[in-house]
Chains A and B, each alone.
Chain A
Amino acid sequence: MTILALSFASYLFALWKRPLLYLGVALQVVYIFSRGGELGRLPLVGPHDTLVFLAASMAGFAIPFGFTLKKRTDFFNVIAVVAAIFTAFVMTAKQHNAPLPPILKTFWFECHVVLAFMSYALFGIAAVLGGIFFKDNDSSIDGLAYRAVLIGYCLFTLSMVFGGIWAYLAWGTYWVWTPKELWTSILWVFYSFYLHARLRQWWMGKPMACLGIIGFGVVLFTYLGVSLLMKSSHSF
């Protein structure tokens, strides 16, 4: 918990000293590995472990994205605040330390979850870039957000493929009719819309930035809202 508190403080103080953002990421990577070592498995079950992974992924991915920006201070500041908020929630969420049921001990499950959260992080970066675009109105930000969504969409698709393979091996079907699957499809169709809309001139600029922000809202609801409020194979 000390490492988490330190990473939270690092993210907050990164608003004044940017290298502390890198320190925050490094601390969370250490925390994830130490949890993994302690549990003897990938620590990606329950809101505690998944949120810390999301915070670390978002801040980690933000570094290469931020360095391609001319004015990067605002971007890194928003990322640091978002990562700090996620970390604050991590510190209040209960750890899942029980041994995993045999069905979750598989490569397919691990890939499914890791890729899903990496894609969520990239969608989050696109949303932050969308917000920055409203302030700076710089077309390079728009292009960067598109790249984040494109890579995120690829990882998200791969996550769904791995999830489908796992579901077929575990339950005999690649598709289960539960709210989580439906919301995941909504997310996938939403970002398909985003990528197609960008091909039309009318959508360039502010409408795309808006879509990026709405998209991350859908991500958060699909991840936290559905898992906490609705009964499904992905419930916390």
Chain B
Amino acid sequence: MTFLKYIADFFFSLRTTLWLLAVSLVFMFAGAFIMPGKNEFRELHSTPLIEWIQNQPLNLTWWLWCLIGLLAVLTVNTLFCSVESIVKKRKVTQWLLLISPQIIHIGFLFILLAHLLSGLGASQKLLPAREGTQLKIAGNDTVLKVNNINIKMDYYGNLEDWAVAVEYLSKGKSFLKDTIRPNNPSVWQGFNINVKDLRAYPVKAVLLQINREPGALWALVGGIVFTVGIVILILLKIKLEK
């Protein structure tokens, strides 16, 4: 019983939060000096984090392992503290002021969930293509066809704009047409297809980047919820001061 109380006290404590954040900072600092210049980290762009980390030497990844462990504990700590805060202060009149830090916490947890989902299932593939090239992008029979590559250069030869017309085919039949432009990818069934590089000569060609980012939506939701929470908190604090 004493042990359980000790565990509960640990997770309900703000001091725990501070320690976890401080130690996370230490590991991130370490990582910031280990990461640059190590080619192994380049693979992280195309491999899910959890898969990548298991195949790398511990002298490169120890700080990431520690960080993942700390974030797991921080998640439990955040949940415990938020629930406790709501239960303890539920009768206060300024309930929005009470709830806004918890909204921020929910946003933070969504962001962590996003990174977990992406860490488990993100993927990236680079495929060169010309006009007329057909590419298989998923395990099923769907094929992506590059119809037209349009590259616009200015007088000095700088790339000004581009557009790549694509078409999705299933069993040879077209079912969706789309155009990929700068900051406007073609999104289909969780795949984000954009252009990594282009070439106008000797033949028009593109390097397509096909990403799958299962956490993207959760990251967006988390970011919005987090921001809403902090904006409410600031507005209420200003109002209280007035």
Contacts and interface: CB of A to CB of B under 8 A. Distances in A.
B185 interface: yes
For chain A, what secondary structure do more than half of its interface residues adopt (helix, strand, loop), or is it mixed? Answer: helix
For chain B, what secondary structure do more than half of its interface residues adopt (helix, strand, loop), or is it mixed? Answer: helix
Interface in A167-211: 168-177, 179, 182-183, 185-186, 189-190, 192-193, 196-197, 199-200
A102 B158 CA distance: 10
A168 B216 contact: yes
Interface residues of B, number: 53
Contacts of B231: 154
A122 to B, nearest CB: 12
B124 A172 contact: yes
Interface in B205-235: 209-211, 213, 215-216, 219-220, 223-224, 226-227, 230-231, 233-234
B28 A200 contact: no
Given A157-B223, A171-B209, A193-B22, A99 B154 contact: yes
A168 B182 contact: no
Given A160-B223, A168-B192, A172-B209, A179 B32 contact: yes
B160 A99 contact: yes
Interface of B: 14-15, 17-18, 21-22, 24-25, 28-29, 31-32, 35-36, 41, 44-45, 114-115, 118, 122, 124, 154, 158-162, 182-185, 192-194, 196, 209-211, 213, 215-216, 219-220, 223-224, 226-227, 230-231, 233-234, 237
22 contacts: A99-B154, A102-B182, A103-B182, A157-B226, A161-B220, A161-B224, A168-B192, A170-B182, A170-B183, A172-B192, A172-B194, A172-B209, A172-B211, A174-B219, A174-B220, A175-B115, A177-B35, A190-B25, A199-B14, A200-B14, A200-B18, A231-B36
